[in-house]
């Protein structure tokens, strides 16, 4: 028996950190969006003595750490063959570690008939993220659809989200390299700046959420927190001057630019990856 789980990737536009000793309560509030490309986790039970993991067809010790953490939290003795296909850049603000953790938790539950619902699987994935410092709010967001507003921090079932936007929006992304998420969210200076700026923007956004405001607040967050590299800043400025671009900003936390448009032609002749906002959510068979 084998199981395949697709989890959409998630890009955060702005956020604020809410630390708590309880990992299920620890998390973030803010807003982001889901992409129609993400992480597909394929799992097959095996009779071998240990679990084998490949990411994009290769052994990847660094990025398989989150999978091992999920297996540890599940506390099971079975062995599996796990293959993950990652369709977006890793370590660049696309929430791939959360998608990896969530896909693994859902897949193992299904293949072993653990009867875990999405909330339980999400809680396991969230705890793995918190333990490794690889994310705060991506797991709960990746259980949503479209543009996702995180109104209460924490794991699924504890944190709260609201989703909006059912229209087709094209998203262009350009990645200039990786940012180690844990280096930012565990740094006292950045934690304070992010929380102060992000809290104010989140409060405003909750009152009147819209695509335009999401883009405006995301750009303000990226400038006010001083997290943008020169390459990111220059490309955002260039994109925002083009016709038919709704707005552009930086993926949090990654050295990546994202830009919205209603027409794919708005990104013509640009060296960018083009996606669509995902309005379907997690899928598995």
Share of the chain above pLDDT 90, in %: 92
* Chain segment 225-270, per-residue pLDDT in tens: 999 999 999 999 999 999 999 999 999 999 999 999 999 999 999 9
With vertex at residue 141, the alpha carbon angle to CA 273 and CA 245, rounded to the nearest 5 degrees, is 35
Mean pLDDT of 142-148: 98
pLDDT (0 to 100) of residue 121? 99
pLDDT (0 to 100) of residue 165? 82
Place of tokens 């009147």: 208
Measured from the Cβ of residue 25, the count of other Cβ atoms closer than 10 Å reads: 16
* Chain segment 80-126, per-residue pLDDT in tens: 999 999 999 999 999 999 999 999 999 999 999 999 999 999 999 99
* Chain segment 263-275, per-residue pLDDT in tens: 999 999 999 999 9
| Cβ burial, residue 256 (10 Å; 0-12/13-18/19+) | buried
pLDDT (0 to 100) of residue 166? 82
pLDDT (0 to 100) of residue 186? 83
* Chain segment 175-214, per-residue pLDDT in tens: 998 888 888 888 899 889 999 999 999 999 999 999 999 9
Question: What span, in angstroms and rounded, lies between the C-alpha atoms of 148 and 30?
Answer: 8
pLDDT at 42 exceeding the cut of 90:
yes
Share of the chain above pLDDT 70, in %: 100
pLDDT (0 to 100) of residue 82? 99
Question: What span, in angstroms and rounded, lies between the C-alpha atoms of 169 and 171?
Answer: 6
Structure tokens at 211: 């695509």
Question: What span, in angstroms and rounded, lies between the C-alpha atoms of 136 and 27?
Answer: 4
pLDDT at 222 exceeding the cut of 90:
yes
The sign of the CA dihedral 61, 65, 66, 70 is positive
pLDDT at 146 exceeding the cut of 90:
yes
Q: What are phi and psi of 57, to 5 degrees?
A: 80, 0
pLDDT (0 to 100) of residue 135? 94
Structure tokens at 67: 């999978």
| Cβ burial, residue 66 (10 Å; 0-12/13-18/19+) | buried
pLDDT (0 to 100) of residue 1? 83
- Give residue limits of the domains in the chain: 1-285
Give the CATH number of domain 1-285: 3.30.230.120
Measured from the Cβ of residue 166, the count of other Cβ atoms closer than 10 Å reads: 10
pLDDT at 223 exceeding the cut of 90:
yes
């Amino acid at each position: 028996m084998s199981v395949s789980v697709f989890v959409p990737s998630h890009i955060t536009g702005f956020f604020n950190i809410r630390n708590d000793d309880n990992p299920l309560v620890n998390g973030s509030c803010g807003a982001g969006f889901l992409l129609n490309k993400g992480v597909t986790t394929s799992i097959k039970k095996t009779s071998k003595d240990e679990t084998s993991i490949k990411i994009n067809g290769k052994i990847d010790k660094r990025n398989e750490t989150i999978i091992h953490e999920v297996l540890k939290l599940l506390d099971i003795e079975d062995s599996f063959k796990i293959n993950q296909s990652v369709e977006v850049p890793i370590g660049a603000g696309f929430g791939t570690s959360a998608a990896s953790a969530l896909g693994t938790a859902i897949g193992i539950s299904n293949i072993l008939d653990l009867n875990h619902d999405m909330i339980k699987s999400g809680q396991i994935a969230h705890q793995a993220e918190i333990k490794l410092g690889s994310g705060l709010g991506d797991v709960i967001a990746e259980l949503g659809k479209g543009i996702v507003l995180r109104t209460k921090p924490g794991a699924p079932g504890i944190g709260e989200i609201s989703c909006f936007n059912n229209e087709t929006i094209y998203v262009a992304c350009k990645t200039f390299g990786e940012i180690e998420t844990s280096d930012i969210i565990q740094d006292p200076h950045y934690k304070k700046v992010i929380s102060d700026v992000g809290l104010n923007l989140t409060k405003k956004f909750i009152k009147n959420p819209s695509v335009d405001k999401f883009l405006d607040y995301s750009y303000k967050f990226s400038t006010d927190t001083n997290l943008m590299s020169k390459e990111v800043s220059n490309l955002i400025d260039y994109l925002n001057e083009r016709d038919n671009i709704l707005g552009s900003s930086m993926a949090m936390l990654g050295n990546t630019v994202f830009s919205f448009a209603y027409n794919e032609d708005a990104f013509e002749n640009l060296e960018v990856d083009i996606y669509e906002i995902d309005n379907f959510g997690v899928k598995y068979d």
